Amino acid sequence: MEPPTPSELPIQIDSHLDGSHERSLAEDALDGLTRPFKELPPKHFYDARGAALFDRICELPEYYPTRAERTILEERAEQLARLTGAVELVELGSGTAAKTRVLLDALDAAGTLERYVPVDVTESMVRECAEELVEEYPGLSVHGVIGDFERHLDRLPPACGPRIVAFLGGTIGNFLPGSRRRFLRAIARLLGPADHLLLGTDLVKDPRVLRAAYDDSQGVTAEFNRNVLRVLNRELQADFDPDDFEHVALFDQQHEWIEMRLRARREHTARVAALDLPVHFEAGEELRTEISAKFTPERVEGDLAAAGLELALWLTDPQQYFAVSLSRPRAV
Ligand code: AVJ
């Protein structure tokens, strides 16, 4: 038999990273660590250790979002497949694609599934999961895009039929409100009239439940939070001592978001050698490392509407802790 030509290969991976991820860490560190209120964006948590810590967070009794979202998808995947008739699933921030299989199973059972398009910065995860999935789903092709979904949305391959763009896990909550709407608008621009956005959003609830989810009793989230300092140490030759910082998680009632911070236990100056930058901390000074916005149904619908999208389906778990919404371009 002839070896398959490239276009027949079930796996294609395009990489758009070319060192730009490292650049963005340096830029974000320079920008964020020289402000009066120090700040780092949460995307830098996720090196191999950070990704493993996040996987452990998802198993914690206090961290309900992953379980709630999986429950919703398991119960409603068939309906989602039927409503969308999707031939392809594009997943932003695919990671290990754990909950993706629930959706792929449903599209497969409906007989429409042709292609999976994972978008993630971690090349090894995209490759491994592509290889597993083409084994598990005969006939499936996987077109992986290695890149930052905030910057490389325009690099997606053209749709091969009705598509679902999935942005799950509540990661939309990492955006501040303005950039959240910009990002949703950028996603909306990718959608044709037959396409859908599947969005996971964590919901506003009892602050005690929220705080516990971000400050677990085993200290896994604290270690995950401090991991960003290890990333800076390795990638930018910094000398932060993670033990100099205390994990802080608080619910900001006014903004309805969780904030994670690292609080300096003592006054000290760390150095970021790659930037030739001293970073001074007063005792008790805090560095904001993440916001994780919590939503009301009205807020989700308003954000979607601002992006030109209309709600097709609103799904929650029995406790109403988490929501998965299906939306589509508003008919004009
Ligand atoms: C991956 C952004 C959805 O905000 O809940 C978990 C990250 N941070 N525990 C979240 C996270 C602390 C998570 N997201």
- Are 182 and 108 in contact by the 8 Å Cβ rule? The answer is no
pLDDT in tens, 261-311: 999 999 999 999 999 999 999 999 999 999 999 999 999 999 999 999 999
Pocket flag, ligand 1, residue 171 (CB < 6 Å): yes
Residue pointed to by tokens 């994670």: 260
* pTM over the 0.85 mark: yes
Q: 41: Cβ below 6 Å to ligand 1?
A: no
Residues 210-236: tens digit of each pLDDT? 999 999 999 999 999 999 999 999 999
Q: What is the pLDDT of residue 148?
A: 87
Q: Using alpha carbons, select from 330, 329, 298 the residue that is nearest to residue 314.
A: 298
Q: CB of 214 closer than 6 A to ligand 1?
A: yes
Q: What is the mean pLDDT of residues 2-15?
A: 73
Report whether pLDDT(329) > 90: yes
Which residue, 67, 76, 25, 62, is CA-closest to 47?
A: 25
pLDDT for the residue 94: 78
User: 25 CA distance to ligand 1 centroid (A)?
Assistant: 19
Centre of ligand 1 to C-alpha 292, Å, is 7
Pocket probe for ligand 1: among 292, 295, 321, 322, the residue whose CB has the most ligand atoms within 8 Å is 292
Predicted local confidence at residue 332, as pLDDT? 76
Which protein residue has the closest C-alpha to ligand 1 atom 9?
Answer: 214
Ligand 1 pocket, residue 290 CB under 6 Å:
yes
Does the pLDDT value for residue 30 go beyond 60? Answer: yes
Establish whether residue 221 lines the binding site of ligand 1, counting it when its CB lies within 6 angstroms of any ligand atom: yes
pLDDT tier at 19, thresholds 50, 70, 90: confident
Closest among 71, 143, 81, 135 to 108, alpha carbons compared: 81
Residues 6 or more apart in contact with residue 85 via CB below 8 angstroms: 110, 112, 162, 194
Cα dihedral across residues 136, 142, 148, 153: positive or negative: negative
